[in-house]
Structure 1
Amino acid sequence: MRRTTKLLAALAAAMVCAAPNARAAASAAHGEELYQSCQDCHSLDSNDVGPKHRGVFGRKAGSVPDYSYSAALKASGVTWNEDTLDKWLTDPQKLVPGSKMFFHLDAAQDRADVIEYLKERAK
């Protein structure tokens, strides 16, 4: 009986560990709060230290007029969508080595929320 209980407990633990991480639905409102830290370098409507974010979805990386991009980002071939923005916000240097961006968001939920904010509000 004891062995069966231990076996069932181990099986249950393995199933929990193997299940994909559940994430809450993305929140544009929370993304807007998080975006405040992005505003040290970016805005929705004007280029600053970083390029503007208005219209970022579907835009080719390195293509905003009047912004001086790194050669690496201009040559990256990246088009911004949920997947590429998530990778970018996870580790910009891994996605595009040699790019200027160094800021990252560790938490997957925070990245999803910022991406939702940009998707909804930066059209």
Structure 2
Amino acid sequence: MLVRSALTLLSVLAITGAAQAQDVAAGEKSFNKCRACHQVGETARNGVGPVLNGLFGRKAGTIEGFTYTDANKNSGITWDEATFADYIKDPRSKIPGTKMVFAGIKNEQEIKDLTAFLKQFKADGKK
């Protein structure tokens, strides 16, 4: 009985932890901070910043039709969750010389949520 209770508790904690790990809806709300410069989805276009479709696994500075700084193109970064989390906290610290002017997102949970939202979009903008 004690073992079963412990396993049930661990299952509940694991599910709760997973729910807290990523919240796509919260990430979409957080993306409102990015919308002034970036777009996602099937109709996304480059604006002040590049399209963010298919961001994860992509080399920095490679979206066709967007004019990147040399700092961004030559950063050697391939976007993954850890690199994005580090970058979004302070873009100019991660890539000195980038033209991205953004105060950053410092809250770890908000970064995870934003990551979950962005990861939905494949390179073609489809979810």
TM-score range, shorter chain: 0.7 to 0.9
RMSD over aligned Cα, in angstroms? 1.5
In the alignment, the residues of structure 1 paired with residue 106 and residue 81 of structure 2 have an alpha-carbon distance, to the nearest angstrom, of 16
Match of 1:100, as an amino acid?
K
Partner of 1:117: 117
Match of 2:34, as an amino acid?
C
In the alignment, the residues of structure 2 paired with residue 100 and residue 32 of structure 1 have an alpha-carbon distance, to the nearest angstrom, of 24
In the alignment, the residues of structure 1 paired with residue 81 and residue 99 of structure 2 have an alpha-carbon distance, to the nearest angstrom, of 20
Identity %: 39
Partner of 1:30: 26
Structure 2-normalised TM-score?
Answer: 0.75
Partner of 1:94: 93
In the alignment, the residues of structure 2 paired with residue 101 and residue 28 of structure 1 have an alpha-carbon distance, to the nearest angstrom, of 24
Partner of 2:125: none
In the alignment, the residues of structure 1 paired with residue 106 and residue 114 of structure 2 have an alpha-carbon distance, to the nearest angstrom, of 12
Partner of 2:47: 48
Match of 2:114, as an amino acid?
V
4+ aligned runs moved over 3 Å, structure 1: none
Unaligned runs of 5+ residues in structure 2 are 1-16, 123-127
TM-superposed deviation, 1:102: 2.5
Number of residue-to-residue matches in the alignment: 101
Q: Please list the CA deviations of residues 81-109 of structure 1 after superposition, one character each: whole Å capped at 9, or x if unmatched.
A: 10111011011111110101132102111
Unaligned runs of 5+ residues in structure 1 are 1-21
TM-superposed deviation, 1:26: 1.3
TM-superposed deviation, 1:40: 0.4
TM-superposed deviation, 1:114: 0.5
More divergent stretch after superposition (43-52 vs 94-103): 94-103
